[in-house]
Structure 1
Amino acid sequence: MALVSIDGNDLIVELEGLDKFWALKNRLAIPLAHVRGATSDPGIVREPKGLRAPGTHLPGVITAGTFHTDDGRVFWAVRDPAKAVVIELADQRYARLVVEVSDPRATVDLIEHAQRAEA
């Protein structure tokens, strides 16, 4: 599970518990100016993940870490697909973040509100 928050002009994603271990990361900070948008997308887990490096992928159990696709790097931290949020990025190490949150709708609303305030 990830905690998504806004700190000044940054989107902060903090992983909790064992997700830090599986993803080999504990925190990401992304400038809001580089966030293109966010959506709740339970179906994302069915998409091809690409090459894992480094990370963990046990189909139907957990996808966590960095995966390389034709579209760029994707950071994953998902166990429950129903709680997956996709955050699209520009000009960052990752092309997108796919994270599990406790309330996907509230997380998407938080990001959209922060983007409007940033503009």
Structure 2
Amino acid sequence: MSPTITINDLIQTRLAEIAEDAWRDYRVMPVKGGDGRVLQLGTGAVWEQWYCQAEHDGYGPCNEPLLTHEQASTLLGMHNDDQPIPTPQIPPVEIELLDPSRGCFMPDALYHWSDVVREYRKAK
């Protein structure tokens, strides 16, 4: 009898691979369960899903929360496909994420919280 692999097993495996690649290539880690923070700008709030452990300036790990393209757009009041942060000071992290609305993995970008806040203040 051959072992059975479910779609959930495949998704979990792919999510683990993406997390490993993000750590290896960008020093970015997924937030584990209740370790996340609620990030709020104005009246919008999102739940942190990733954080950065890279050293951008030689002063130790960054530790900033990272937001997806959709999260950043929501906080900045941009409910469309435009780039939410046209000129980020810290380069966005290119990553593949599970898109529940489409039922597949899609390319996405993770933005540093400081860049989202900077763009918000610029628009105010």
Structure with greater Cα Rg: 2
Q: TM-score, normalised by structure 2?
A: 0.26
Q: Quick check: which one's helix share is greater?
A: 2
Q: Quick check: which one's strand share is greater?
A: 1
Q: TM-score, normalised by structure 1?
A: 0.27
